[in-house]
Amino acid sequence: MAAIDALDDAPNAKAGLMFRESLAADAAMVTVLRDPSGRMYMVYRPTRGGVLTKAGTANAGQGPYAKLVRRGDAFRGYCSSDGKNWTVIADATVGMGEKIEMGMAVASHDPAALATATFSGFERIEPSSKKAPELEDVVDEE
């Protein structure tokens, strides 16, 4: 989760959160993006070298918070105006290994110009895959 507080007003600039199978340019990936108008949407590439697909759109004013959740190969993108109440943007199924790259992304889509974005409140939560022992399974050693 993160707030995308500011983004350059270049026509094709985008900023958001991204999960990638690797750092390869054509890696399978999923991202929740904000454009300069404040609209938020998901983009994903289901396989390495596959076609980028845009999914769902949230209107300006439903951000600036973005959240991306993974459960196996299922991904869901969210946006929020307050960081507490979330609206689903879209779902995508993208096959990725257990360990992936995750972070913030900014793009200008113009090789002659850089885009700048400001993020705040970045948080990465990884639930434990190990089940806590039940109380009756704990043995006191004296």
pLDDT digits (tens, 9 = 90+) for 68-115: 999 999 999 999 999 999 999 999 999 999 899 999 999 988 888 888
| Tokens 């999960």 sit on residue | 19
Q: What is the pTM of this model?
A: 0.81
Q: Would you place residue 63 in the very low, low, confident or very high pLDDT band (cuts 50, 70, 90)?
A: confident
Query: Interior CA angle at 131 toward 126 and 132, to 5°?
Result: 105
**What are the structure tokens assigned to 110, written together?**
């113009």
